Amino acid sequence: METHAPRYYASFRCLAGACPHTCCAAGWEVPVDSASAARYAALPGLLGKQVRAFLEMDPEGEPCLPLRGGVCPFLNREGLCHIHIELGGESTPLICRTHPRFSYNYGSLRERGLCGSCPEAARLILGGDMELTTSLEDGPEEDTPPLLSSLLQARTTALGLLSAEETTLPQRFQALLLFANEVQVLLDEEQAEAIPPLCEFYREEFPFLSLDPDSLPPRQEVLEKCLSILEGLAILRPRWKTLLAAGKACLDHPTPPPSGLGERAAAYFLYRHWLRGVWDGDVLTWAEFAVLGTVVTALLAPQEKEGFSEVFRQFCLELEHSEANMTAIQDALWDVLSLPDLLSIAGM
Ligand code: SF4
């Protein structure tokens, strides 16, 4: 099957003991796949006894290694995995061997990427402009979702708007929202066949927002609404809660997204989420999410010693690893925030 991946995907190497924010202490229990569970059931010696002593069933009845004090019970003081040291990386649960890599299948297409919640992945994601590679690999050839081709073209156009020459970052973000809104109108009117000509038009004409900025909702109020929405989601780490509260205190002088890092963060969000639209016909949400995620990251960056990249990492950790949070933010982007709200904060 055809497979897409950002060029940096192949460069990823886990930082292991040198990782400043190890995923083994991110607050997630460790799901154990059935092959690993079977191996652990027959594992001899002390390690076998230890693994079996920790192994539990999660509420869905799937085996998992619950955390001790928010940390995987097999993480040692040097930040290394005891199972990995004793038996090799191939004997760790599947999730430990694959994280932070993600892969999504859309019929005959597979898309791979790295989760921004991992500090090394975040460094690669923000370290250069995203370039996609295409290859062929084995995999199930399922029916292609009808919207795939047009939404792929639309995503290419959307990513192109984010890197349009001789434009500012606010202009690019606003153009992205205007384009996504037009794609959404066509999807809602069941006119997906009109998306490719629309893409062609947008490739030739960069859409500058013609509205008077004063006619948009006040930026400070929209930012406050965004932070309140994020505060209302399930929060994984106390630090994120503190950051959101601190962000509310600096709404008078919000820090705009830095050029370069801002485009790359938004491109990551678009690449990862835009094609969800092939399943539910919603793409405007994911353009708005890209803008919201980048603007909120920039707003909170001065509160964090390690700045934009660390807040980006925390945003990804808190949102993208919880499907409940992703559903809640999708609902909020439909019901609580409006397109003018997003255009307002995009113009920072
Ligand atoms: S967060 Fe990333 S770099 Fe750190 S331990 Fe996990 S996979 Fe490795």
DSSP letters, 61-123, are: S-EEE--BTTB-TTB-TTS-BHHHHHH-GGGS-HHHHHTTEEEEEETTEEEEEE-TTSHHHHH
**Of the candidates 186, 1, 196, which has an alpha carbon nearest to the alpha carbon of residue 110?**
1
Domain tally for the chain?
A: 2
Do residues 75 and 188 both lie within one domain?
A: no
Q: How far apart are CA 129 and CA 265, in angstroms?
A: 10
Tokens of 252: 């008078």
* Residue ranges of the chain with per-residue pLDDT less than 50: none
Give the per-residue pLDDT at 27. Answer: 81
At 303, which helix (H) or strand (E)? none
> What gap in Å lies between CA 286 and CA 321, rounded to an integer?
16
Counting from 1 in the atom list of ligand 1, the atom nearest the Cα of 15 is 3
Find out whether 225 and 336 touch, Cβ atoms under 8 Å: yes
- Out of 144, 173, 205, pick the residue that ends a domain: 144
- Residue 296 has a pLDDT of 98
Rounded CA gap, 58 and 126, in Å? 35
Q: Which residue has the tokens 């006619």?
A: 215
- Same domain for 238 and 313? yes
The secondary structure of the chain in percent helix, strand, coil, rounded to multiples of 5, reads 60, 10, 35
Spatial CB neighbours of 324, under 8 Å, sequence gap ≥ 6:
234
Give the structural domain span for 69: 1-144
Rg (CA), the chain: 21
**Per-residue b/e over 155-183, b at no fewer than 16 CB within 10 Å?**
bebbbbbbebeebebbbbbbbbbbbbbbb
CA distance 54 to 36: 14
Residue 208 and residue 125 share a domain: no
List all residues 6 or more positions away from 116 whose beta carbon is below 8 Å from its beta carbon.
122, 125, 265, 268, 312, 313, 315, 316, 320
Atom of ligand 1 nearest to the CA of 120: 3
With the most atoms of ligand 1 within 8 angstroms of its CB, the residue from 96, 120, 314 to mutate is: 120
Residue 79 CA: nearest ligand 1 atom is 5
CA atoms of 274 and 106, how far apart (whole Å): 12
> Is 42 found in the same domain as 69?
yes
Q: Is 152 found in the same domain as 71? A: no
Are residues 124 and 157 located together in one domain of the fold? no
* Mean per-residue pLDDT of the chain: 95
**Structure token pair of residue 262:** 């801002």
The pLDDT of residue 213 is: 79
Atom 2 of ligand 1, residue of closest alpha carbon: 118
Best mutation site among 9, 13, 21, 23 for ligand 1, i.e. most ligand atoms within 8 A of its Cβ?
23
**pLDDT (0 to 100) of residue 28:** 81
Residue 173 sits in the same domain as residue 69: no
Whole-number Å distance between alpha carbons of 176 and 144:
26
Same domain, 69 and 155: no
- The residue from 114, 144, 174 where one domain ends is 144
- On whether both 153 and 97 belong to a single domain, the answer is no
User: Do 103 and 162 belong together in one domain?
Assistant: no
The domain boundary, picked from 128, 144, 160, lies at 144
Nearest residue (CA) to ligand 1, atom 6: 23
Cα(23) to centroid of ligand 1, in Å?
5
90 and 159 share one domain:
no
Q: Helical H runs in 212-338?
A: 219-231, 238-248, 261-273, 277-280, 284-300, 307-320, 323-335
Token representation of residue 25: 């202490």
Question: Whose C-alpha lies nearest to ligand 1, atom 4?
Answer: 22
- What pTM does this model have? 0.94
Q: Residue 303: its pLDDT value, please?
A: 94
Backbone torsions φ then ψ of 90, nearest 5 degrees? -70, -10
Closest ligand 1 atom, CA of 14?
8
Residues 126 and 159 reside in one and the same domain: no
Q: How many CA atoms lie within 13 A of 6 on its CB side?
A: 27
Closest CA to 317 of 232, 225, 234, 248: 234
Render pLDDT for 62-120 as a digit per residue (tens, 0 to 9).
999 999 888 999 999 999 999 999 999 999 999 999 999 999 999 999 999 999 999 99
